[in-house]
């Protein structure tokens, strides 16, 4: 099993604040994905990072893949109440028998208060 640890588990902040969520593993992944999940819904893919050191930006969200392809971070600038949700990272296995399989972290529950 390729484990992914996410921190913090819970994050409660005021609108306008910045935040960073971390996703760490001892395993190397071919790529890493970030998902956002709202209550009563399934996860929705936000981004896939593929290259070690890669940085991708989606409006106020910045995703970074570690140089060794074992960890990633998600930074949100000027958080808004609409950013509230469960953020999940998922590593994509590069091992033969599990190639392409997703291994999910347990998620960071973000609440942004107006």
Partner 1 sequence: DAGVIQSTRHEVTEMGQEVTLRCKPISGHDYLFWYRQTMMRGLELLIYFNNNVPIDDSGMPEDRFSAKMPNASFSTLKIQPSEPRDSAVYFCASSSGLAGSTDTQYFGPGTRLTVL
Q: Of these, 10, 40, 59, 114, which contacts partner 1 (CB under 8 A)?
A: 40
Q: Residues 7, 17, 26, 41: which binds partner 1 (CB under 8 A)?
A: 41
Binding mask 82-101 for partner 1 (x = CB under 8 A): ------x-x-x-x---xxxx
What is the H or E stretch that residue 89 is in?
strand 85-92
* Maximal C-alpha separation, the chain: 47
Rounded Cα distance between 58 and 109, Å, is 19
Give the CA-trace dihedral at 49, 51, 52, 54, to 10 degrees: -60
Closest CB to partner 1 among residues 66, 105: 105
Question: Alpha-carbon distance 71 to 23, whole Å?
Answer: 5
Q: How far is the CB of 54 from partner 1 (least distance, A)?
A: 14
Which residue is associated with the tokens 């949100």?
76
CB of 36 to partner 1, least distance (A): 11
Task: Supply φ then ψ for residue 81, to 5 degrees.
Answer: -55, -30
Of the pair 2, 64, the CB lying nearest partner 1 is at: 2
By CB under 8 A, is residue 66 in contact with partner 1? no
Positions that interact with partner 1 (CB under 8 A): 30-31, 33, 40-45, 48, 50, 88, 90, 92, 94, 98-107
């Amino acid at each position: 099993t390729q484990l992914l640890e996410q921190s913090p588990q819970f994050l409660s902040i005021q609108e306008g604040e910045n935040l960073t969520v971390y996703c760490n593993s001892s395993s190397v992944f071919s790529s890493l994905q970030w998902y956002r999940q709202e209550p009563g819904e399934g996860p929705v893919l936000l981004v896939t990072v593929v290259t070690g050191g890669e940085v991708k930006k989606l409006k106020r969200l910045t995703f970074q893949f570690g140089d060794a392809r074992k960890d990633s971070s998600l930074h949100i600038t000027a958080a808004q109440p609409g950013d509230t949700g469960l953020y999940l990272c998922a590593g994509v296995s590069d091992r033969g028998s599990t190639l392409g399989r997703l291994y999910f972290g347990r998620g960071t529950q973000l609440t942004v208060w107006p």
